[in-house]
Structure 1
């Protein structure tokens, strides 16, 4: 079940604040709402409806997601100690590969949104970091707590991790990546990620 929850992470983020109950939003929430509006506009655009427009629709959604997700920071935290051992060339290869893996896996699911309801719980800001907590109520009335970790870069609040039921997306990938690297090699991990991207 937890794997299924991770598979829903990105599109739940994209819809979360558009459906949340009214609250006194802080700057991180306000910026995310702008992102949500863009995604909803894309999903509701008649000119982008249907299978024939799927690639164009996902390209536009990918562009919007790129504005709010700090993929490089997520990749760095997911590789953890192995990141420091990588050359700049390897990092330049890994970040877009990691990004492509997540986007390809999740963007299709955004279009299958099934009416989950969201309750906004809390927003905490400490310096350049913020934590946004929500509860998602599925169509089967299952309550799922989700927390979004964000870091301010310039004037923007960027997501660098998502936790579902207390389980961190970044830590989950970190464990998987570390296992593959230790049992095989970094090159072996890159090959596996390329295979997954190709399948999606």
Structure 2
């Protein structure tokens, strides 16, 4: 039998599916992230427990997958620590109760595609010399007129719990025109924005 004829007949007996023709193989981390993201998108502005994410993703590294969604892909997923610290300063227009340290909230269904760039800038500023509060201001200046997230500012401050208080001081004590989503509802939830480089005079000491 002609070898080409035999080849064609074999193909008729075993037709190739689309998966046979194009079957990209993704790492398991990809599927873990996708499952987590789909669940968050179904439940925005809702507390999602670490236990749920463990089951949904099938990995104990769910916290890393969440960070990847936040840092690499621009999803505004906030941790319990950031939620609590922003709420204490009145910087978050959400009423959240009884969150555990391993809980998260997707505060916006908008994917911020510029966020990965900001995270790279935040990384460089965090490594630079100077006080942590000045680093916060430097990051806000770098993004003047554009909202930045509480998660980004917390990261710059080495994830210390007083970061939100230091941002508040930049406004109330040092006169920098910083607004939050509680003051301007048009801003994305959980963000801060430096309106201009005009610093108001310091209030007179009493």
Asked if these proteins are the same fold (TM beyond 0.5), I'd say: no
Q: TM-score scaled by structure 1?
A: 0.30
TM-score normalized by structure 2? 0.29
* Structure with the largest fraction of helix: 1
**Higher RCO (Cα < 8 Å, 6 or more apart):** 1
- Structure with the higher fraction of residues in strand conformation: 1
